[in-house]
Structure 1
Amino acid sequence: MSRLQSGGLLLLAALIWGSAFVGQALGMAGVGPLTFTGVRFVLGALVVLPLALREQQQLRRHGHRPGRRDFAWIVLLGLLLCIGVVLQQIGLVSTSVTNAGFLTALYVPLVPLLAWVLLRQGPHWSVWPASLGCLAGTWLMTGASIAGLSTGDLWVLASTLPWAFHVLLVGRVANRLRGAYTLACGQFAVCALLSGVLGLLTEPVSAEGLRTAAGAILYTGIVSVGIGFTLQVVGQRHAHPADAAIILSSETVFAAAFGALFMGDRLSASGFAGAGLILLCIVAIQVQPLLQHHFRR
């Protein structure tokens, strides 16, 4: 898969995730954050399960079977996914779709830093200004003021560290397993189990509440988890983690657009400037290798 193809898959995943912020916010009307996360990740796991089973059959024919370490990596990624999603979901109770979308993007500068410190994997120099540009764009979109941060904003901010670790590792683990669908299904199942059990223990669950949240659960489970997160795993098998983080940060722009369309969120002039800066950084990180190749010829 080429760089542009993997980038296209990641951009599509970002579009889907951006649209899902609306469903995640609306779903809180019927169930708690943990229950909502558990049910939608069960749906996501079921969506990708047939692909994972077929993939495992093909791998076994070639003598590849997952070992204990492989399962440990799947559990770790499922745990990181669960923590990131649940913290974000709790934040959406008391913050806007637009704020949640853009604050989530703060994991972008963390990914190349973690890759450099933990994996000794230095990204191309252009990743650093692009990451800082995404950070500045996020700052502009949230009003350029820490004083304006709500409790919900702080919950979303807390989710950026597990998101950064997840983006850093998911492509490497998928390549280790030789199976993107196996990893996707496995991490969804782990996330569903953890959040579902905690939800049953700590949150009130009723049939009426589930009916109220049914539409949001179906959309975010089937489309956002089953399709969006699976596209991320497939795309990241062929992308540098830092590059992937920058492309995935476009979900913030899509979240703002869908928030304005369905939730009445509105951006200020600085917000539009921030959105434009993030988009510029995303385009730059994709165009840079093409220009470098052209001038070397």
Structure 2
Amino acid sequence: MDKYKFRSNLLLLLTAAIWGFAFVAQRVGIKYIGTFTFNGTRFALGALSLIPLILFFNYKSRVGKAKVIEQQKNRKELYMAGLLSGLCLFIAASLQQIGLIETTAGKAAFITGLYIVLVPILGIFLRQKVGVFTWIGAVTAVVGLYFLSINEYFSISKGDLFELVGAFFWAIHILLIDRFSRKVDALKLSCMQFFVCSALSMITALAVENITLYGICQAGMPILYGGVLSVGVAYTLQVFGQKNASPSHAALILSLETVFAALGGYLLLNERLNTMGIIGCILMFSGMVISQSHSFFRKDN
């Protein structure tokens, strides 16, 4: 492995760690403020943290008049993409945050991580082929979900159910980003969808939650972590990390966020899993890896 790939892998591993520990920050944040207030403030911070990066890249890639005119034509498409992606992000993030009220950081991360398996399966509706590794991975992950979430009464907790429904919306969100990022600037799209998600969250918070300055201050550190580090810093690390890393390696390393979330929950929140839960986590992570296995046989790796 050359030094550039090694550096990329380290950046992606750091990204996975930041995202994993973000589940801990979210779990702490909901003790002080409501779901929508928390998401509204952190995504606003995340969007603001990307503005300097956008200005930097705009400065580095100064273009001629013809290119400027072309960018202006694409602005309408950017607004539409940001609106749709932001709406989907709002639903996914809201379900995730609501679920965290009644489940652990580790379980939430592993269930959310099912989007890695769901993305290619949902791709069937877009006439994309689904390979045998994806189906094996999906079955393995579902069995893992059973061990992780189904209790002795053969029922799933409300929190885990919210995370499971949220995983479908995370998968849809990824498919939307995959489609729109080919047509518009990915960084500007990210910033715009974060603003849309923040706006929708704050509107909902004003309608259903009691927003207090004291509560926001109490949740200050989790909000800063979730907004600046999890969104702004981690997104930037991901962009630079994927520059010299193969897509399959990147997906595998980033999926380690589930492991970091479980570790963070154990170390910082004293969250414990029983034997069934541990087996479930192992099976779910194995399913995520198996679903990406086909990528390792491609020549671009």
Separation in structure 1 between the aligned mates of residue 8 and residue 137 of structure 2, nearest angstrom: 19
The one of 83, 105, 108 aligned to 2:116:
108
- 1:99-123 Cα distance to aligned partner (Å, 9 max, x none): 22222233333211221212x2224
The one of 57, 74, 79 aligned to 2:82:
74
Q: Which residue in the other structure is 2:282 paired with? A: 276
Q: Which residue in the other structure is 1:211 paired with? A: 217
What letter is aligned with 2:270? G
Task: Flag the 1:111–1:31 CA change in 2: closer, same or farther, 3 A.
Answer: same
Please report how far the alpha carbon of residue 166 of structure 1 lies from its aligned counterpart in structure 2 after TM superposition. Answer: 0.8
Task: Flag the 1:121–1:3 CA change in 2: closer, same or farther, 3 A.
Answer: farther
Separation in structure 2 between the aligned mates of residue 146 and residue 8 of structure 1, nearest angstrom: 43
Task: Flag the 1:131–1:243 CA change in 2: closer, same or farther, 3 A.
Answer: farther
The one of 270, 273, 276 aligned to 1:264:
270
Aligned residues: 290
Task: Flag the 1:174–1:3 CA change in 2: closer, same or farther, 3 A.
Answer: farther
- Cα root mean square deviation, aligned: 3.3
What letter is aligned with 1:33? T
Q: Output the TM-score relative to the length of structure 2.
A: 0.81
Q: Are the aligned partners of 2:99 and 2:160 in contact in 1 as well (CA < 8 Å)?
A: yes
Q: Which moved more, 1:192-201 or 1:93-102?
A: 93-102
Separation in structure 1 between the aligned mates of residue 11 and residue 140 of structure 2, nearest angstrom: 22
Q: Which residue in the other structure is 1:173 paired with? A: 180
Q: Are the aligned partners of 1:115 and 1:122 in contact in 2 as well (CA < 8 Å)?
A: yes
Please report how far the alpha carbon of residue 203 of structure 1 lies from its aligned counterpart in structure 2 after TM superposition. Answer: 0.9
The reply on whether 1:19 has 2:21 as its aligned counterpart is yes
Q: Which residue in the other structure is 1:190 paired with? A: 196
The one of 104, 115, 121 aligned to 1:96:
104
Separation in structure 1 between the aligned mates of residue 13 and residue 203 of structure 2, nearest angstrom: 32
Separation in structure 1 between the aligned mates of residue 56 and residue 153 of structure 2, nearest angstrom: 49
Q: Output the TM-score relative to the length of structure 1.
A: 0.82
The one of 117, 128, 141 aligned to 1:121:
128
Separation in structure 2 between the aligned mates of residue 107 and residue 146 of structure 1, nearest angstrom: 26
Task: Flag the 1:71–1:5 CA change in 2: closer, same or farther, 3 A.
Answer: farther
- 1:147-180 Cα distance to aligned partner (Å, 9 max, x none): 3422222222221221110112213322221x32
What SS class does the counterpart of residue 126 from structure 1 fall into?
helix
What SS class does the counterpart of residue 113 from structure 2 fall into?
helix
Task: Flag the 1:15–1:142 CA change in 2: closer, same or farther, 3 A.
Answer: farther
Q: Are the aligned partners of 1:184 and 1:230 in contact in 2 as well (CA < 8 Å)?
A: no
The reply on whether 1:133 has 2:140 as its aligned counterpart is yes
Separation in structure 2 between the aligned mates of residue 196 and residue 239 of structure 1, nearest angstrom: 38
What SS class does the counterpart of residue 170 from structure 2 fall into?
helix
Identity of aligned residues (%): 38
The reply on whether 1:253 has 2:255 as its aligned counterpart is no
Separation in structure 2 between the aligned mates of residue 116 and residue 67 of structure 1, nearest angstrom: 30
Please report how far the alpha carbon of residue 248 of structure 1 lies from its aligned counterpart in structure 2 after TM superposition. Answer: 4.8
Q: Are the aligned partners of 1:127 and 1:243 in contact in 2 as well (CA < 8 Å)?
A: no
Q: Are the aligned partners of 1:143 and 1:270 in contact in 2 as well (CA < 8 Å)?
A: no
Task: Flag the 1:113–1:60 CA change in 2: closer, same or farther, 3 A.
Answer: farther
Q: Which residue in the other structure is 1:220 paired with? A: 226
